[in-house]
Amino acid sequence: MSDTSYLSLDKLTLSYGKTVAVRDLDLDIRKGELLALLGPSGCGKTTTMRSIAGLMMPTGGHIRLDGVDITRVAANRRAVGLVFQSYALFPHLSVFENVAFGLKLKGLRGAELDRKVDAGLKSVGLADFSARRTPELSGGQQQRVALARAMVMEPKVLLLDEPLSNLDARLRLEMRTELQRVQKESGVTMIFVTHDQIEALALADRIVVMKSGAIEQIGAPEEIYNHPASRFVADFVGFENIFEIRNGNLMTPKGEVVLPQAMPHAAGLAWRPRAVALGTGPWSAKVRGISFAGGTREYVLDTPLGVIKAEVDAALPAHAIDTDVVFDLPVENAAVLKRFG
């Protein structure tokens, strides 16, 4: 465990029977950090979260929290809170009673119970909703109740499983702001699991991209977004034009292309659609698809390099399907991949 680590996963291995879901995972999380575990279904992110919560015992390795080994500590003794994807609220209880439930199990009663629950509801903006039943609330309000219920237990670490996936687009935006506010005001170390790269980029201090039970890349949102380390990460965060470099040449579905400059330490190059220079350059293409996306227009191009996706300002004159265009892939606009896998 590093000197700055508050929660440490050391050679953590997690299995379902003979199937290893996570192998020898090392991860140090700082106190007060808002961390995202990002990846597709089956990558091990939820399994890792469940092990931190104490809902799954490791087959190898250790989990340490605030200097204490909690690997074999029961879930209810870990000081770890968990907000489920489904919220897991009690529909027959009021908002107040839902938030008070865990505190009552700890033996809290009377004025102290009321004070803690009232403070918890106030922190998530639900002070005026304490008497309502949870089915009377919107999805965003139910999420806030679940958050308050976890926070009043004063966890050292708060885990959130796909926290925004059940909300519509408008509510997701509101809850992103709410989660950030609650986390920064409380200072709680927060880890959330998501498959949504936009959600992770918007919320997290750091992102852990997972693939096949291992960490593929760790970094700040800007680093993950602008400098993916591998083809897997580039594809996951929206680079749609990705090519391997082999023997100094760009490998395309239609043959090798000599690069205008040497790239000795690159395993691949990746361009976002907006990094493609449409209307200028040495390559010819035919427009095969057009999508209007509000402020931009997206094109699917049939080219000598294979299919290329380009994005331009919607204010520019539109190209019709089956028309001929020219384009370029400026190397300076590309992300350099260290690994092509």
Residue-wise pLDDT tens digits, 44-93: 999 999 999 999 999 999 999 999 999 999 999 999 999 887 778 899 99
Is the pLDDT at 289 greater than 60, yes or no?
yes
Q: Which of 206, 230, 254 is the last residue of a domain?
A: 230
Q: Write out the residue range of the structural domain in which residue 252 sits.
A: 234-337
Cα–Cα dist 240/307, whole Å: 10
Nearest residue to 12 via CA among 1, 24, 20: 24
Looking at the structure, do residues 123 and 45 belong to the same domain, yes or no?
yes
Q: How confident is the model at residue 172 (pLDDT cuts 50, 70, 90)?
A: confident
CATH number, domain of 67, equals 3.40.50.300
How much is the average pLDDT of 230-251? 93
In this predicted structure, what is the pLDDT of residue 299?
98
Into how many domains does the chain fold?
Answer: 2
Whole-angstrom Cα distance, residue 97 to residue 81? 18
Judged against a pLDDT cut of 70, whether residue 192 lies above it is answered with yes
Decide if pLDDT at 3 tops 70: no
Q: What is the pLDDT of residues 22-40, one digit of tens each?
A: 999 999 999 999 999 999 9
* CA angle (206, 207, 208) in 5-degree steps: 125
The answer to whether residues 222 and 290 belong to one domain is no
The verdict on 221 and 271 lying in the same domain is no
Instruction: Round to whole Å and give the CA distance between 273 and 108.
Output: 56
Asked if 45 and 38 touch (Cβ cutoff 8 Å), the reply is yes
Among 230, 258, 282, where does a domain finish?
230
Q: Angle at Cα 176 formed by Cα 90 and Cα 152, nearest 5°?
A: 45
What's the confidence (pLDDT) of residue 2? 52
Task: Encode pLDDT of 87-138 as tens digits.
Answer: 788 999 999 999 999 999 989 899 999 999 999 999 888 999 999 999 999 8
- 218 and 281 in a single domain? The answer is no
Give the span between the Cα atoms of 251 and 233, in whole angstroms.
Answer: 19
> Based on the domain organization, do 220 and 245 belong to the same domain?
no
Q: What is the mean pLDDT of the chain?
A: 92
Residues 183, 58: one domain? yes
Specify the pLDDT at position 224.
97
Question: Does residue 320 carry a pLDDT above 60?
Answer: yes
Report d(CA 273, CA 241) in Å as an integer.
Answer: 7
Pairing of strands 206-211, 34-38: parallel
For position 165, what pLDDT does the model report? Answer: 77
- What pLDDT is stored for residue 176 in this prediction? 85
Tell me: the pLDDT tens digits for 249-280? 999 988 898 888 878 789 999 999 999 999 99
Residue 166, pLDDT score:
72
* Cβ contact 147:180 at 8 Å: no
The Cα 319–Cα 321 span in angstroms is 7
More confident residue, 173 or 312: 312
3-state secondary structure of 141: helix
Same domain, yes or no: 197 and 259:
no
Are residues 49 and 191 located together in one domain of the fold? yes
Q: What number of other Cβ atoms are within 10 A of residue 295's Cβ? A: 9
Residue 323, pLDDT score? 96
Residues 218 and 243 in one domain: no
**181/299 same-domain check:** no
